Structure formats: C-alpha cells, structure tokens
Amino acid sequence: MILFALQSFCDANDIEGVNWKKIRRLLGKKQKPKKSRPFTTDEIKLMLGVTKELRSKAILLFLSSSGVRREALTELKIGHLKEMPNDCLAVTVYADTDEEYITFINKEAKEALPRYFEKRKKDGESLDPDHPVFRTKYTLAISKPKVVSEKTVSNLVHRAKTNSGINLNDEPNMLCHAFRRRFNPILKLNNNANNPLIERLMGHDMKLDNAYFQPTIENLFEEYQKGVSNLVIDDKERVLEEKKKVEQEKEELIKIKEENENWQKKYAHERRKQ
C-alpha cells in the first residue's frame, strides 16, 4: 500500500528514473494474510463456563445465536426485540437506518435476557422499550442507562476466550467476528438453504437485490429455523431443538400425504362422474 502511494506520488509529479522492480525485490514477497476461523460450539460452551456475569453471558449467547456485528449491540434497544414462535425473538438491527435488517435469537439466548433484565430491575432500573438491551456497568441503576460500547464487548469476549484457554490469536475486535463466521456456514450448509435469505440475516449489503427482493419476516424466520438446532450451545437444548425439528418435519409429511390423498379422492370422484 505504501509503495503504491509512493509510485502514485512520483507519477503525479513527473519524477522519473525510479527502479520500482528493484525496490519490490528488496521489499520481498507480501505475506499472505492469516485467515481467521470461527469459534466452535464447544469453545463457546467453555467461554460460557468461565463467565459469571449475567450481562456477559447474555452478550455471548446473543452474538452466537444472531450473527450480528459487535457494533449492533451498541444501538440495540429493548423495543427492537419481538416475540416469535418456538421461544425465539426477532431482532431489528440498526433500526430506522438505511442498514436496517432483521435477524433472530434462539431460546437459550432469549432466556439469558430476562435474568439480566431482572438484575437491573432489582438494582432500581425501570426498563422500557427505549432502554438499551445491554447497558454499561453502573453504580446507580436508576441513572440514565448508557449503551454498552464496542470496546467493552470486544474486551469481554477476549477475557472469556483467554480464561477458557482457547487458542485463537485474533485481535480483540476481530474475536467478535468469529461468532459471525460460525453463524454463516451453520445456516448455509443446511439442506435446501436459501442463500439470499441468509445474506439478509447476516445484514450483508446487496444493493440491487435489496431494491427488488423484499422477504417477509416469516420468510426469514423459516430460514433461520433450518439451522437453529446447530446454533444452540447447550447439549440438552440442542437435543430438544432437534426433536422439535423432527416433529415439525413429520407434521409436514403428514400434511402433504393428506393433501395427496384428498387430491386422489377428488380426481377419482371426477372420473366416476364422466
């Protein structure tokens, strides 16, 4: 990047006679950037195991189940959460901006929030829809709540990673992104995955597509549900989610079978009338 800037400066000022090939050889080959990896489910389980603070637990589960960027937590208000089926919550990310999008959190992430909110209530905070989902630490809870900062989110993730002995040497700000790198393939590797819907759940900017493709919240939630059991961290909860998924698939098969039988009966009846 620096070499390119110097070459551009020389070109703009008509400076000639610089042997750029020789300079590049002296600098050597560019190192390939290190690829970051996602957190594994077992690693997140370890992080939760060494985390005692209710706010930190809620943030770790929120990041792992929603795939949001850390900065999204700094703008999130209680009013941006909406009840959904199967004990999930819809989350409006970057509400009332051009970047607004919808994602979801699963049952275990949802259940961590009331425990954290109850602690704030007991400390004297009167929660309302305009209050932040995650606030800064406080001495007096009745004081006006300030939203948690990106640095705080990064630091608590880094602390949980370090205390659990996980070997992931990313910078603290990139560690939060390891949750998104887990979220994306979990959804995309599902059978019948709908990639455009998953890109929406990730909040990726697809300018032309955004102008014409407007999925409903139901469309998005249906796609999220395909991967929800694999997003779960707790083993018991994952088994319950998988059983629920199997039951739903059975119900869908029964419904299809009944529709086929009704169609066959109707067709046979029409043939007899002829």
**What per-residue confidence (pLDDT) applies to 218?**
97
Query: How many structural domains are present in the chain?
Result: 1
Residue 252 lies in a domain: no
Distance between alpha carbon 261 and the CA centroid of its chain, in Å?
41
Residues 108, 237 contacting (CB under 8 angstroms)? yes
Residue 69 lies in a domain: yes
Whole-angstrom distance, CA of residue 221 vs CA of residue 262? 30
Structural Rg of the chain based on CA atoms: 25
Whole-angstrom distance, CA of residue 157 vs CA of residue 151? 10
* 96 DSSP 8-state letter: T
State the CATH number of the domain containing residue 88.
Answer: 1.10.443.10
For 152-168, write each residue's pLDDT tens digit.
999 999 999 999 999 88
Residue 149 lies in a domain: yes
43 three-class SS: helix
Whole-angstrom distance, CA of residue 233 vs CA of residue 61? 8
Residue 109 lies in a domain: yes
Residues 100, 94 contacting (CB under 8 angstroms)? yes
Whole-angstrom distance, CA of residue 101 vs CA of residue 99? 6
Whole-angstrom distance, CA of residue 112 vs CA of residue 135? 15
What tokens appear for 123 in the block? 């400390």
Residue 264 lies in a domain: no
Question: Helix 41-49 crosses helix 177-188 at what angle (to 10 degrees)?
Answer: 140
Residue 53 lies in a domain: yes
Residue 100 lies in a domain: yes
* 160 DSSP 8-state letter: H
Distance between alpha carbon 183 and the CA centroid of its chain, in Å?
6
Whole-angstrom distance, CA of residue 65 vs CA of residue 115? 17
User: Strand ranges (DSSP E) for the chain?
Assistant: 81-84, 88-93, 101-105
Q: Which stretches of the chain drop beneath a pLDDT of 70?
A: 1-14, 20-25, 27-35, 170, 172-173, 206-211, 237-239, 241-246, 248-249, 269, 273-274
**What per-residue confidence (pLDDT) applies to 130?**
97
Between the CA of residue 244 and those of 64, 188, 193, 213, 247, what are the distances in Å? 20, 20, 19, 30, 5
Distance between alpha carbon 227 and the CA centroid of its chain, in Å?
12
Residue 78 lies in a domain: yes
- Provide the residue range defining the domain that includes 132: 41-232
What tokens appear for 205 in the block? 């900017």
